[in-house]
């Protein structure tokens, strides 16, 4: 799947978690801009993992701070 397609899918997955309707750009951060707590992160990650049939381990999550990095990581993981 190419990056644009991954982006589109994740954009729809993030909607129910983006309660304040924050505008999503590649630079949008999960902890800062979206104010995700650890439980929200778990549910959001699970939704992505199920959609793409991948694992995003905690170790990999630690490297992902903003939306763009997430799309890059998922594109790479779903390619493998």
Partner 1 sequence: MSEGISQPDQPQEVEGGERDLFSKFDDIIALREGLLASGQEDPFSLVMEKVLSPTRAICNGRDTILLGTYNYMGMTFDPDVIEAGKQALDNFGSGTTGSRVLNGTYQGHRECEDALREFYAMDHAMVFSTGYQANLGIISTIAGKGDYIVLDIDSHASIWDGCALGNAEVVPFKHNDIEAMEKRLRRIPEGAGKLVVLEGVYSMLGDIAPLAEMVAVAKKYGAMVLVDEAHSMGFIGEHGRGVCEAAGCIDDVDFIIGTFSKSVGTVGGFCVSNHPKFEIMRLVCRPYVFTASLPPSVVATAATSIRKLMHGSNKRAHLWENSKRLHGGLTQLGFQLGTSEPQSAIVAVIMPDLEKGAAMWEALLTEGLYVNLARPPATPANMTLLRCSLCAEHSVEEVETILGMFERAGKAVGII
The binding site for partner 1 (CB under 8 A) comprises 37-39, 42-43, 46, 49-50, 53-55, 57-60
In order, the DSSP letters of 8-53 are HHHHHHHGGG-TT-PPP-TT-BTTTTS---HHHHHHHHHHHHHHHT
Minimum separation from the CB atom of position 46 to partner 1 (A): 7
Closest CB to partner 1 among residues 23, 37: 37
In the bound state with partner 1, the residue whose beta carbon lies nearer, of 22 and 54, is: 54
Rounded least distance, CB 63 to partner 1, Å: 12
Nearer to partner 1, 2 or 53 (CB): 53
Please say whether the beta carbons of 22 and 33 come within 8 A.
yes
Alpha-carbon gap, residue 77 to 68, rounded angstroms:
14
């Amino acid at each position: 799947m190419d990056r644009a397609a991954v982006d589109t899918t994740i954009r729809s997955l993030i909607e129910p978690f983006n309660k304040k309707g924050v505008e999503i750009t590649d630079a949008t951060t999960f902890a800062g801009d979206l104010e995700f707590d650890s439980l929200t992160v778990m549910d959001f990650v699970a939704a992505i993992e199920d959609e793409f049939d991948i694992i995003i381990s905690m170790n990999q999550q630690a490297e992902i701070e903003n939306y763009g990095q997430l799309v890059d990581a998922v594109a790479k993981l779903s390619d493998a």
